[in-house]
Amino acid sequence: MKKDFIFTSESVTEGHPDKLCDQISDAIVDHFLQQDPFARVIVECAVATAILFIAARFSADATVDFSGLARSVIHQVGYDQQGFNARSCSVITSLRELPEQRGTYFNEKQLSDEDMDLVMIKNQVTLFGFACNQTPALMPLPIWLSHKLARKLTSVRVQKILPYLEPDGKTQVGIEFRQGKPYRIHSITIIASQTKAATAGGPSLHRLEDDLRETVIYPVFKDEALGPDEHTRIFINPDGPFIMGGPSIHSGLTGRKNAIDTYGEYSRHSGAALSGKDPLRIDRVGAYAARYAAKNIVAAGLAEECEVQLSYSIGFSKPVSIQVETFRTGKIPEEKIAALLEEHFDFRLAAILKQFNLRYQPLILKGGFYRKLASYGQMGRMDIGLPWEMTDKVQTLKTAL
């Protein structure tokens, strides 16, 4: 990547149709695992005007009210529009209960190291984990700021500071980099849906701009090292009023916001969706393990930026390839870092489940675990004690050197 460039990342609120689908899918995963930690489940949703479609395959000793759970999520997100609400939207389900799958009902807490080698990967996927020193969470600054703006946009709606806002919204932040470092805020964009047009008693575009500057933009950047300057371009609903928003305006689908779930495309990410999958899916939990590795490398000072690539193939217990890219910021050769990862990190499926306690997290975290990941990113979260965000391998890496 060039040393001088402008990079933008976007985030969306929890009311965006794609994120609504992610939340419903992960809420269903949570409910299965809360009743049966050994449940196998994959859930996908699609939403449009007045209709929600749920496709689920599962094998579990559990009972889940798919329709009722979906309506509960829709209500909690805040949709109460005539065109789309929890009470009147049609919920169509396509459910398939699978037979018990041999080899999946192991208890990783009781496995020996030799036993873990016998737990084979059932999917083939290449995953990426990334970390950099641009923010306290070791995340890229553009996606970090975009998430903060999206959270704040939701907050001022929920707290009725701006009661005319609807759940659907989008944010984008552009950062100017010089010599590979964040230099200034180039641009800020907020797309906010509102209940009514100005002609029907809603806020004018001028009022919306003033309100969002005062209640969203300025508070978010108050404690940031970089803030808007006199040359920063701020766009608020540049295409005009966005009335109602949500599924009545545009459709949604589970797993369509992978960049928002990960690194805002500042780093590569897998094409596989993260939401709607139980923790035995390596295309989900392997991404968490890759992030854990990359974050510890940067936290240990071995590189300023680090991308870890894990390639899994069916029939193997561990990655067939571990690659490291430090973008010329590494303090030691990348081959040495990759060797440290192979020696001190365990990327086997059973080991990831055990270390991160992934089957039991929905029982530990009140209100579910995976649903909380479905909005505002699954990496770099500081509001949840995510096990893959820990930097407990730093001293091990330093000692190994």
Residues 120-141 as b or e (16 or more Cβ within 10 Å = b): ebbbebbbbbbbbbbbebbbbb
Question: Could you tell me which residues are beta bridge partners of residue 321?
Answer: 311
Q: Is 96 exposed, middle or buried (0-12, 13-18, 19+ CB in 10 A)?
A: exposed
Q: Which fold has domain 17-102?
A: GMP Synthetase; Chain A, domain 3 (3.30.300)
User: Using one digit for the tens of pLDDT, what is the confidence trace for 29-54?
Assistant: 999 999 999 999 999 999 999 999 99
Angle at the Cα of 29 (from 28 to 35), degrees rounded to 5?
A: 95
List the chain pLDDT tens, one digit each, 401 residues. Answer: 578 999 999 999 999 999 999 999 999 999 999 999 999 999 999 999 999 999 999 999 999 999 999 999 999 999 999 889 999 999 999 999 998 765 567 999 999 999 999 999 999 999 999 999 999 999 999 999 999 999 999 999 999 999 999 999 999 999 999 999 999 999 999 999 999 988 888 999 999 999 999 999 999 999 999 999 999 999 999 999 999 999 999 999 999 999 999 999 999 999 999 999 999 999 999 999 999 999 999 999 999 999 999 999 999 999 999 999 999 999 999 999 999 999 999 999 999 999 999 999 999 988 899 999 999 999 999 999 999 999 999 999 999 88
Angle subtended by helix axes 282-299 and 349-356, to nearest 10 = 70
Residue 86 and residue 70: Cα distance in Å, rounded? Answer: 8
Q: Which fold has domain 5-12+141-251?
A: GMP Synthetase; Chain A, domain 3 (3.30.300)
Contacts 24+ apart (CB under 8 A), 63-71: 63/35, 64/28, 64/31, 64/32, 64/35, 66/28, 66/91, 66/93, 66/95, 67/91, 67/93, 69/24, 69/27, 69/28, 69/31, 70/24, 70/27, 70/28, 70/45
Backbone φ and ψ for 271, nearest 5 degrees, come out as -80, -5
List, by residue range, all CATH 3.30.300.10 domains of the chain. 5-12+141-251, 17-102, 113-133+256-272+279-400
What is the CATH architecture assignment of 113-133+256-272+279-400? 2-Layer Sandwich (3.30)
